[in-house]
Structure 1
Amino acid sequence: MTANESSAPAVDTVTVAYSVSGMSCGHCEKAVSEELSALPGVVSVAADAKAGRVSVTATAVLSDDAVRAAIDEAGYELTGRA
């Protein structure tokens, strides 16, 4: 194995940014991130309350309905893809 190879298989991912209304602080970011992270296939979530955006990296494109439900469960509103 060379220095550029890793023992983990490569996983193709896709990142989609969403606009979310109602987030205003770190607690908001954490709540949204936790709900989205629980969706199948999600690799990482980056929420930015100030910008009102959430970037979700997953192994496949998530359905907007699943993303909307997770954000709704956290107490916020998905306003669309950013």
Structure 2
Amino acid sequence: MPTQPDYVRISNAYASAIVDGKLKPGDQLPSIAEMTQRYSVGATTVKMVLVRLEAQRLVRRQQGKGTFVEPREKWLLPGDDDEPVIEI
């Protein structure tokens, strides 16, 4: 049974939490340091998680401030007609 890489598993969990409304627009995600400790992964893995979420426009990163959930109208979800399909 193939397992997903950590960055895919973690980013999918955050994407689900955002889409399901558990994380709301404007909510701040944990810092890279907090995520590395929480998930027992390296900083590179966490950065890949954030890049993936940012590519889906689910979050925005602000240098020195953190990573924040974007409003729903900015998200790129599978099936959006005017944007490329990005798998969540």
Shorter-chain TM band: 0.3 to 0.5
Q: TM-score, normalised by structure 2?
A: 0.31
Q: Which has the larger radius of gyration?
A: 1
Give TM-score, length-normalised by structure 1: 0.32
Which structure would you say has the larger RCO, counting Cα contacts within 8 Å and 6 or more residues apart? Answer: 1
Q: Which is richer in strand?
A: 1
> In proportion to residue count, which structure has more helix?
2
